[in-house]
Amino acid sequence: MGYFISTTLSSNQEYLYKNNLLKSLELASITLTLEFKKYCKIVNFMAEAMMMITNGYLIQSQIPAIFSNPFLENVKLSNTGAFHSKYYPDISQVGIQLINASKPMDIIFPKIEEKSLNFMYFGFEQDELFYCYPGQKMPESYTPIVREWFYEALVNQDQVVTSEPYIDAVTGEYVITISKTLKAYIDKICVAGIDVNLDKIQNLILSTKKDEEIILIVATIKGFVILSPWILPFGTRLFEKSLTGFSEDLWDEMLNGSDIIPFTFESIDSTFYTCYRKLVYPTNTPTYIIIYCFDQASYDSKVVESTFTDSYSLIINLVISILLLTSFVSTIIYFYITQRIIKILNKTCRSLKEILLKAGAKRFNRLWRRYRIDTNNIVLANILDMINEKLETIEKEDVHYKNYYWGAIRPNDIFLYKDIIGKMLPTNNLKFRLGKIRVHFVNMMMMNYNQHLRNLNKIPLLSEELIESSDDDELSQQERLSILETNN
C-alpha cells in the first residue's frame, strides 16, 4: 500500500513539475513574442508613413531641417529629430530634397514613441544620411550603411528583421535593432529602425520566471546569449561548449526538436540539467529561443522527500477521513434504529391496549355500546375490577337478550301493511285481530326500551348510581319478560 502510494505520488509530482515548467516556458514565450510584435508594428508603420510622406507629400513642414553635426557633446533634442551625415555640410541637391521630404516625420514620431525605445530613425544611402528621433549628437564618422541592422534589412527586403545585440554608438548601452527596408523619394533606398534597450527585454523575461530554482536561458536564433545564469563575456554563443556546456550537436537538436520533448546537458561545473525549449516567432521566422532547465539531482531529491512527506500525510488524512466517515455513518444508523424501535414500541403499546380493550368488551359488547366511552382515555386499572364484579351480571343479561329473540314474536309483515295486502286477506276474523294486538304490544315495548337507553346515556361512565341501578334494571327486565310470557 505504501509503495503504491509513493509510486503514484512520485509520478504525479513529476507530472505537475513538468506541467508547471512548460506553462512557465509558454508564458515567457508569449510575453517575448507580444513585446517584439509591438515593435514590429511600429517599424512597419514608420516605413509606410515615410513612403507616403516622401512620395506623396501628404504632410509638409515649414520648419527647417536640423543637423546634429554642429551639436555639442551630450546634446539631445526632446520633441524633434535631427539629421546627420559625415559629408555635412557638403550635401547633394538630391539629399537636400530628401531631407525636406522626410522631415515631416517629426510630427509622427511623438505619437508612436515608446518608453522602452531608445531611438527611432531612418538610414539613407543618399549621402549616407541618418535621421534620428530624438535628435542626438552622433560621432562625426558615423554612417548607417555599414551597420548590421542596415545591411540585414537590405538582404531581407520587405521583411522585418531583428539584429543581434550590440553596443550603441551613442549611448554605449546594449541594444537590439528592429528594421525594415523601404523606398523613399524617387526610389531612394531607406531603412527604418528602432533601438530596444536590452536590459528592458531581460527584465521583462525574468518577470515571467516564478521558480528561483529554474535556470532561464535566452539566445538569438544564431546562438547569441542574451540571458543566462552564468557570467559570460558579451557576444558568447550558446553552443560554445567550453563556456556553456552546450555542444553544436545539441544546439542543432534544440533548433529542430519538439517543445514538449526534454533534453539534457552537462554544464561546465558538472551539473546535469533537464531542459525544455521554445522558439519565439515575432514574425514568420523564428528569432529567439527560450530554454528552461532544472537541476536533475536536486529535483530527484526533492521529489523523493516530497513524495515521502506526501505519502504519510495522505495515509494520515485517509485514516482520519475513514474514522470520521465511519463515526458519521454509525451515528446516523444509531439514530435511525432508535427511532424505529421507538415507533415499534409505541405501536406495540397501542396494539396491546386495543387487544385488552377488545378482550374485555367481547363478553359484554351489548352492554358496552350503551356507554359512550373514549377508548383513548380509559384507565384500565380503574375499570378492570368493575368488569370482574359485573361480569356475572352481564352474562345473565346476555342470556336474557339471547333468549328473547325479537324476530320470533314479531308478527308477519302482512299485519303492518294493511292498505296493500289487506284486500286479499280477511280482516275481521279473530286471528287477524289477535295479530294486530301483538304488533301494538311489540311497538310499545320497543318504545319503552329506547326510552330506557336514552336515560342510561345521561348517567356518568361506570358511576356508583349506574352500578346500583343495574340490579333494578335486571328486575325490571325480568318483570317484562314474565309479562310477555303471560301474554303469550
Tens digits of residue pLDDT in 175-186: 999 999 988 766
Residue 97 or 451, more confident: 97
For residue 37, what pLDDT band results from cuts at 50, 70 and 90? very high
Quick: pLDDT tens for 317-351.
888 888 888 888 888 888 888 888 888 888 887 77
pLDDT at 13 over 70: no
Which residue from 164, 202, 136, 162 is spatially nearest to 42, judged by alpha carbons? 162
Check residue 368 and give its pLDDT: 46
- Count CB-CB contacts under 10 A for residue 325: 10
Quick: pLDDT tens for 401-460.
555 544 444 444 444 444 444 445 555 566 666 666 666 666 666 666 666 666 655 544
Check residue 32 and give its pLDDT: 92
Backbone φ, ψ for residue 9 (5° rounding)? -65, -35
State mean pLDDT over 45-50: 90
State mean pLDDT over 248-270: 84
Share of the chain above pLDDT 70, in %: 63
Residue 97 or 364, more confident: 97
For residue 478, what pLDDT band results from cuts at 50, 70 and 90? low
Check residue 122 and give its pLDDT: 95
Query: Alpha-carbon distance 256 to 428, whole Å?
Result: 139
- Chain mean pLDDT for the chain: 76
Query: Alpha-carbon distance 157 to 189, whole Å?
Result: 11
Map grid coordinates 325480568 to a residue: 478
The strand pairing partners of 178, in sequence order, are 162, 194
Query: Alpha-carbon distance 305 to 297, whole Å?
Result: 12
Which residue from 223, 222, 229, 225 is spatially nearest to 206, judged by alpha carbons? 229
Q: What is the DSSP letter of 291?
A: E
Side-chain-side CA neighbours of residue 202 (13 Å): 14
Query: Alpha-carbon distance 429 to 425, whole Å?
Result: 10
Let me know: does 174 contact 234? Beta carbons within 8 Å: yes
Q: What structural domains does the chain harbor?
A: 2-7+202-299 (3.30.450.20), 35-196 (3.30.450.20), 379-487 (no CATH)
Check residue 413 and give its pLDDT: 47
Quick: pLDDT tens for 131-177.
999 888 888 889 999 999 999 999 998 899 999 999 988 888 899 99
Let me know: does 446 contact 356? Beta carbons within 8 Å: no
Check residue 467 and give its pLDDT: 44
Residue 63 or 349, more confident: 349
Which residue from 122, 162, 165 is spatially nearest to 145, judged by alpha carbons? 122
Residue 358 or 168, more confident: 168
Cα-based torsion angle of the residue sequence 215, 219, 224, 226 in order, rounded to the nearest 10 degrees: -60
Check residue 420 and give its pLDDT: 47
Query: Alpha-carbon distance 273 to 271, whole Å?
Result: 6
Backbone φ, ψ for residue 294 (5° rounding)? -140, 150
pTM exceeding 0.95: no
Map grid coordinates 508613413 to a residue: 49
